Amino acid sequence: MESIFPALYILAAASFILAIKWMSSPSTARRGVIIGEIGMLLAVVGTLLRAEVVSYQWIFIAFLIGSAIGVPIAYYMPMTAVPQRTAFSHACGALAAALIGAAEYYRQMPHGVVMIALIVEMLLGFLTFTASMMAFGKLQEVLPQRPITYRGQNFVNLGIFILAVIVGIALILSPERTWLFPIFAVLSLVFGVLLIIPIGGADMPTVIALLNSYAGLSASAMGFAFDNKLLIVAGALDGSSGFILAVIMCKAMNRSFSNVLFGAFGTIQTTTKQAVARPVRSASAEEAAEILHSARKVVIVPGYGMAVAQAQHKLRELSDILTKRGIEVTFAIHPVAGRMPGHMNVLLAEADVPYDRLIEMEDINPEFPRTDVALVIGANDVVNPAARFEKNSPIAGMPILNVFEAQTIMVIKRSMNPGFAGIDNDLYYLDKTLMLFGDAKSFVSGIVKELNAVAAGS
C-alpha cells in the first residue's frame, strides 16, 4: 500500500498544475476546475490510506461538519458573493494550517528546521485568517469599506509584525517556552487585522489575490514541517500563482504593493459639489432602445453594478436580440472590474455569453473609436478618463477602457455616486454621454422590451 502513495501524490500534483494552466483561459476553465477536484480527491484518498491514520472516527465527523457547511454555501451563495466566499475560504484554509501547526508544536515541540517551518506556517496562517475575515467583512459591507487610518499606523503595524517574528525566533531557539506561544499567536492574529483596515474597497481584488498567496505559502511551510511533498508542491503553486495574480492586478491598476498595503486608497468622497453643479443628459429605456437599434457596432462594458443587480442574463438577452439584427456586439472586460479577478467573466459565462464575445482590455481599446454605442453597466473607475488625463488624480496612470472614444455612450447607474476610488467620473458629463438612471436589471429589461416593440412596429 505504501508504494501507492507516491503515485497518487504525483498524479495529484500533476492535476493541480494542469488545473492552473487550464483555468487561465475561459474556454478551458471548466476542465481546469474538474481536474483540480480530481487532484484533490487523489490527495485526500492517498492521505487517508496512510498507515499513520489508525482511526477514522474524528475524520468522519469533521467530514460531515465540513460538508454541512460547504455544500449549502456552494449551492445557495449568489455569484455576486463569490469574492466574499473566496475570502472566507482563504480564512478557513489558513486557520486550519495554523491550528495543525499549533497541535504539532504542543505534541512534539520539535527543534531545528521543523520548528522553523512550523513558526512560518503558523505566522502566515494566523495573520491570513484574520486578514481574510476582515476582507470578507469589507466585501460583505458589514465593515466600513473606506480605509481606517491614523498617524503612525505603518510603524505600529510593522512593530507588531517584528514582535511576532522575535517571539517566533525565541520559540525556535527554545521550544519548551510554551508561555510564549499564545503571545506569538495573538500578535499574528492582531497583525492580520491591522494589515487590512487601512485598505479601501478599491484594492480588495489585489488583497484577495495576495491573501491567496499567503495561504498557499502557509500550506507549503506545513509540507516542510510534516515532510509531505504534495503539500509543498500544492502550497507553492497556490502561493506563486496568487502572487503573480496580485502583480497582474497591481499592474492593471497602475499601483505597487506598497501603495496597496500602505496607501489607504479608496477613500469615499463625502461631497460632490462639482458633480451637483455639472449638468448631465439622461434618457429613457425607449430612447436607449432606439439608439441601439440604429447602431452597427455595440460594446457592452460590465462592472460591479451589473453583478449587484444580477443583470447578466438580461444582458445576454439584449446581446442576442441585437446580434440577430445584424449588430456586432462584444463585451469589454477590464482586469479589475468587479471585486475579484475574472469576476465579470464568471458572471457572463454563467449567463452563457459566448467566450469569443468577451474581449480583454488590450484588444477592445482600439475598437472604441469605431464603436457606435458603448453601453456601460455599473462600471465606474475602470472607465474614468481621469486616469488618462488628470495627473493629480488618485487613479492617474491606471489602465482604463477607452469608452470615452465611442461615438455614443450610455451609462446605466443607480445614481451619480462615485465608485470605489471615491472620485468623480468625467465620462458622465460628456456631451455624447446619456445617463440611464435605475437598477441595471430593470433598465436592461426595459430596453429589451422596447427593442421588441421597435421590431414589431417595423
Give the DSSP H/E element, type plus range, for residue 437.
Answer: strand 433-437
Q: In what order do the strands lie in the sheet containing 373-377? A: 358-360, 328-333, 297-302, 373-377, 408-413, 433-437
Give the DSSP H/E element, type plus range, for residue 374.
Answer: strand 373-377
**148 to each of 30, 145, 266, 267, 348, how far by Cα in Å?**
39, 9, 10, 9, 34
Give CA–CA dist 354/122, Å, rounded: 44
* Selection from 332, 340, 280, 335 nearest residue 307 by Cα: 340
Give CA–CA dist 189/363, Å, rounded: 43
Among residues 203, 320, 352, 381, which one is catalytic?
Answer: 381
Give the DSSP H/E element, type plus range, for residue 298.
Answer: strand 297-302
Cβ atoms < 10 Å from Cβ of 203: 28
Q: Active site includes 203?
A: no
Residue whose entry in the numeric block shows the C-alpha cell 495529484: 12
**81 to each of 137, 163, 332, 335, how far by Cα in Å?**
12, 36, 22, 18
Cβ atoms < 10 Å from Cβ of 166: 13
Contacts 24+ apart (CB under 8 A), 398-402: 398/252, 398/253, 398/254, 398/255, 399/251, 399/252, 399/253, 399/254, 399/361, 400/334, 401/301, 401/332, 401/334, 401/361, 401/364, 401/365, 401/368, 402/365, 402/368, 402/369
Could you tell me the three cell numbers for 402? 477607452
* Selection from 214, 169, 160, 168 nearest residue 187 by Cα: 160
Q: Which residues contact 300 (CB under 8 A, 6 or more apart)?
A: 315, 318, 319, 329, 330, 331, 332, 375, 377
* Selection from 53, 52, 166, 429 nearest residue 277 by Cα: 429
Alpha carbon 103 to its chain centroid, in Å, reads 31
* Selection from 328, 325, 329 nearest residue 458 by Cα: 325
CB 377 within 8 A of CB 315: yes
The residues carrying an active-site annotation are 381
